[in-house]
Amino acid sequence: MKSSKIVGLGIYEPENVVTNDDLSKLVNTSDEWIQERSGIKQRRYADINEKGERNYIMGARASQEALDMAGMTPEDIDLIVYATLSPDYVFPGSGVLLQRELGFRNVAAIDVRAQCSGFVYGLSIADQYIKTGMYKNVLVVGAEIHSTGLDFSDHGRHVTVLFGDGAGAAVLTATEEQGKGILSTHMHSEGEFAEKLAVIDPSASEDPKYNAEMFEPGGSAWPVMDGQFVFKNAVVRFQEVIWEALKTNNLSPEDIDLLVPHQANMRITQFIQKKMGFPNEKVVNTITKYGNTTAASIPMALYNAYKEGRVKEGDLLCLAAFGSGFTWASALIRW
């Protein structure tokens, strides 16, 4: 049976770098508080008006780089999978905007709404279509613009300081090589805690409690998060889904050459490292420079590791994510 492997990677980093000190001019916070709680030193904010850094434009720039690395053109792609929680429009999804922007054929464009797990969900979707032989080349994108939807008042500052903007993309292709490429993917959800990290449209919320907590007078909706609850769930689910990937393939944590976790928060990653015994040199950390870019965080982290020469032929990579929903997912890849 065919399997799928990543042959192209690309990212787009918005030009505007916002350090913690810059942010503390907009929000009542400090560099010390942010670094101690999250490890974040800076993030990037897209500039839509001056630089046109829209979600799908950033996705297109990342995709173009991934296509170039793969030696492909849009003509070669059989399916677009676009993961984002901050789409350009309520509808249609950003996948079709990307199709138009880069001039892909009239192939299917699937938008994935799985928040921080979106890119790994996207890889899993791509992998299934490639394995069945239905498609040969699939583009998976993760892109986010958080900066236009954050609460800069004291009420939301524990959420606001964590998030940044950016995009990442990967091109997957079919391979006959045995034991290479994506070995397995694993996806989960638990809607029980949907409101623990969410943006809820005032008109769609059934619970007056959430209306009172979440909305400014006039009805603007901002992300709300029960930070400690999210932390406790994240550290459990991350470990579970990494173990699931390992057990499925009869492997152990020592077999992993590189862990590419969703860049949620440095403290969450460090907790998992400690529990599962991953040394720093086997773990990718980009949260210090990008903050949390949800669906874009894993492809941006993977790209950085690849460019730094940390991903070598034959290496075993584990991608793992947890996020709003809750959703969580992993992918084990033999590079």
Residues assigned a catalytic role = 116, 262, 292
Neighbours of 248 (CB within 10 A): 14
| Among the residue ranges 62-70, 156-164, 281-289, 305-313, the one whose residues contact ligand ACO (CB under 6 A) | 156-164
Q: In this complex, which beta carbon is closest to ligand ACO, that of residue 168 or of residue 181?
A: 168
Largest CA distance in the chain: 58
Using the rule CB under 6 A, which residue among 5, 43, 158, 186 binds ligand ACO?
158
Rounded Cα distance between 141 and 144, Å, is 10
Q: Which of 292, 304, 327, 330 lies at the binding interface for ligand ACO (CB under 6 A)? A: 292
287 binds ligand ACO (CB under 6 A): no
Hey, which residues between 46 and 75 contact ligand ACO (CB under 6 A)? none
Q: 278 and 272 in contact (C-beta within 8 Å)?
A: yes
- Closest C-alpha among 220, 225, 226 to residue 201: 220
Contact 314, 334 (CB under 8 A): yes
- To ligand ACO, the closest distance from the beta carbon of 187 in angstroms equals 15
Q: Is 169 in the site for ligand ACO (CB under 6 A)?
A: no
Any contact of residue 186 with ligand ACO (CB under 6 A)?
Answer: no
How far is it, in rounded angstroms, from Cα 270 to Cα 126? Answer: 30
222: which 2 tokens? 């901002």
Q: Which stretch binds ligand ACO (CB under 6 A): 30-38, 45-53, 88-96, 139-147?
A: 30-38
Please pick, from the candidates 5, 157, 186, 334, the single residue that binds ligand ACO as defined by CB under 6 A. Answer: 157
Reference 272, options 237, 225, 311, 318; nearest CA is 237
Q: Output 171 or 197, the one with its CB closest to ligand ACO.
A: 197
**How near is the Cβ of 5 to ligand ACO at its closest, in Å?**
27
- Assigned token pair, 286: 């980009």
CB closer to ligand ACO out of 78 and 144 = 144
**Is 302 in a helix, a strand, or coil?**
helix
Interface with ligand ACO in residues 223-282 (CB under 6 A): 227-228, 230-231, 234, 264-265, 267-268
Q: Round to whole Å and give the CA distance between 168 and 237.
A: 24
Residue closer to ligand ACO by CB (options 69, 241) is 241
Nearer to ligand ACO, 231 or 243 (CB): 231
- Residues 152, 197, 328, 278: is their CA dihedral positive or negative? positive
The verdict on 86 binding ligand ACO (CB under 6 A) reads: no
Q: How far is CA 163 from CA 41, 118, 316, in A?
A: 11, 16, 29
Burial class (CB in 10 A: 0-12, 13-18, 19+), 25: exposed
Q: Using CB under 6 A, which of 2, 16, 31, 33 touches ligand ACO?
A: 33
Q: Which residues bind ligand ACO (CB under 6 A)?
A: 29, 33, 37-38, 116, 157-158, 161-162, 197, 227-228, 230-231, 234, 264-265, 267-268, 292, 322-323
